[in-house]
Structure 1
Amino acid sequence: MPDLPALLPGGIGVSRLCVYDTPGPDGLVGGTPHVHLCCTEAYVVTGGEGAVQTLTLSGHRETALHPGTVVWFTPGTVHRLINGGDLRIVVLMQNSGLPEAGDAVLTLPPEHLTDPAAYAAMADLPGAGAPGTDASAAYRRRDLAVAGFAALRAGGTPALRQFYAAAVALRRPLVGRWRERWATGARSAATRTGGQLDALARGDADHLSEAEVYAATEPAERGRLGMCGRLDTYPFG
């Protein structure tokens, strides 16, 4: 069997998530509310029960989660996972690598979004959240983001628009690096499909002779601290 390819289909990322099982400051058990600036995210629920709270300019919504549920949301959707009991999810993420490169922005109060250093002081985890890292810092940033999320809900459309503007200003310096990741990832995968369509239109079957089978039998890393819980990550993307 050949080495693993750099990309999953379409250049997506995949991970397994066990949602945090400790309560936030409002008493609800779950993860850290955040937004993605240019990535659509999907959940495939594999175990347990819970919900995902979402906030857009259309308002607040709560979607129930149970085994078999598939839910996805586009960039600009502030989301927070609520763990109703042993909630486990397979996460599919557009543009693999971009969330880890800064596409995800936590709903911290406005004073923490003023510059990258102020944001990093609250958002970055010791040891980058590696397995075995103490979770107390992850819970502290979760609790602060929950407070910010509550303020966004209470502030309505003006507050959410201000948060969007602050998030874009915070991450704008990173866009050049994100573009490089996208060009070698999702765009490269789409371009490859375009070439295959061209070949098929010519009656050319050469690319079919390059068929391979790949498998990742184990995660590359288990128990990494993420925004919403502990992640098992895979060695591609």
Structure 2
Amino acid sequence: MSTPSFPGAVAASMLEVYDWQAEDGLHGGTPHVHTASSEAYVVVAGRGEVHTLTPEGARVDALEPGTLLWFTPGTVHRLVNSGGLEIVVLMQNSGLPEAGDAVFTFPARILADRDAYDAAARLSQDTPAEERAATARARRDLAVEGYLELRAAVRREGGEALRRFHRLAADLVRPRVAEWERIWHEGAEREAERTRRQLASLAEGDPGLMEDATVVRTEPLPGPRHFGMCGRLHKWRPRRDEG
């Protein structure tokens, strides 16, 4: 039997939010949007805020230990670190964010040019740490520049400004959708189908999947934390306990 998926084919990671100062004086991560997946934050340490843009306008939510907050696709979000902010991130549709589900809030001139966008978004994990940090920070700064422009437009024009950004984001990810469908079929859809079959088994009095009950532990992936969109990422590698 293969290692069971994390519940619901969700992805889990630990995030140390960047403490780099941006042009507006705030410290934190890279503003972006997810085009197909919802995201949840469970705050485990520190203090901060998440700044969001939706058709209803701009919003700020405080983050502190014990906070549980989530948002749906299309919500532009920016993490602000007021000190020691660490978050467990739960991401719907495991695999899609890694395959490009996230779109950065770069200025419109870059969003409208796929080659320019790809060049600005690129971050190799194989270069020295100092180089990766500099690249991640430059990418963050460019996204903050675009975010501030977008937030000002949303305040002036309301939802139409956000819809323009959404259309640019949708056009950017369109070439990736066929691959996303494969990832979704092999992940979230398969898990939903397993539950459907299990309910059918239980309706017949058959234990079904219960006969394959197992426990999965995890261990940290080796090496330093990766530079992610909003901070340094710590991920886990599942393993089956035998015996």
Q: TM-score range by the shorter chain?
A: over 0.9
Deviations 1:192-214 (A, max 9, x none): 00000000000111421111111
Report the equivalent of 2:16: 18
Separation in structure 2 between the aligned mates of residue 224 and residue 184 of structure 1, nearest angstrom: 25
8 Å CA contact 2:136, 2:229 repeated in 1: yes
- CA change 1:135–1:210 in 2 (3 A) is same
Report the equivalent of 1:51: 49
Report the equivalent of 2:189: 187
Q: Which sections of structure 2, spanning at least 5 residues, go unmatched?
A: 239-243
Q: Deviation at 1:223? A: 1.1
The letter for the 2-side match of 1:197 is L
Q: Deviation at 1:220? A: 5.0
- CA change 1:133–1:234 in 2 (3 A) is farther
Which segments of structure 1 move beyond 6 Å, counting only runs of 4 or more? 128-132
Report the equivalent of 1:109: 107
Q: Deviation at 1:117? A: 1.7
1:168 corresponds to which of 167, 170, 173: 170
The letter for the 1-side match of 2:213 is A
Separation in structure 2 between the aligned mates of residue 221 and residue 96 of structure 1, nearest angstrom: 22
Separation in structure 1 between the aligned mates of residue 59 and residue 74 of structure 2, nearest angstrom: 14
Q: Deviation at 1:64? A: 0.3
| 19-28 or 112-121, which deviates more | 112-121
Q: Deviation at 1:129? A: 7.7
- CA change 1:203–1:171 in 2 (3 A) is same
Q: Quick check: 1:204 aligned with 2:202?
A: no
Percent of aligned positions with the same letter in both sequences? 50
Separation in structure 1 between the aligned mates of residue 233 and residue 127 of structure 2, nearest angstrom: 10
Tell me the SS of whatever aligns to 2:42. Answer: strand
Report the equivalent of 2:93: 95
8 Å CA contact 2:219, 2:236 repeated in 1: no
Q: Deviation at 1:217? A: 2.9
The letter for the 2-side match of 1:158 is E
- CA change 1:129–1:60 in 2 (3 A) is farther
May I ask how many residue pairs the two structures share in their alignment?
Answer: 234
Q: Deviation at 1:221? A: 5.2
Q: Deviation at 1:33? A: 0.3
Tell me the SS of whatever aligns to 2:93. Answer: coil
Tell me the SS of whatever aligns to 1:160. Answer: helix
Give the 5 Å matches for 1:23-102: 23-102=21-100
Q: Deviation at 1:133? A: 5.3
The letter for the 2-side match of 1:40 is S
Report the equivalent of 2:241: none
- Give the alignment's Cα RMSD to 1 decimal: 1.8
Q: Which sections of structure 1, spanning at least 5 residues, go unmatched?
A: none
Q: Deviation at 1:3? A: 6.8
Give the TM-score taking structure 2 as reference length.
0.91
Separation in structure 1 between the aligned mates of residue 9 and residue 223 of structure 2, nearest angstrom: 20
8 Å CA contact 2:125, 2:227 repeated in 1: no
8 Å CA contact 1:4, 1:216 repeated in 2: no
- CA change 1:54–1:134 in 2 (3 A) is same
Q: Deviation at 1:123? A: 0.7
Q: Deviation at 1:4? A: 3.9
Separation in structure 2 between the aligned mates of residue 163 and residue 130 of structure 1, nearest angstrom: 34
8 Å CA contact 1:43, 1:72 repeated in 2: yes
8 Å CA contact 2:51, 2:80 repeated in 1: yes
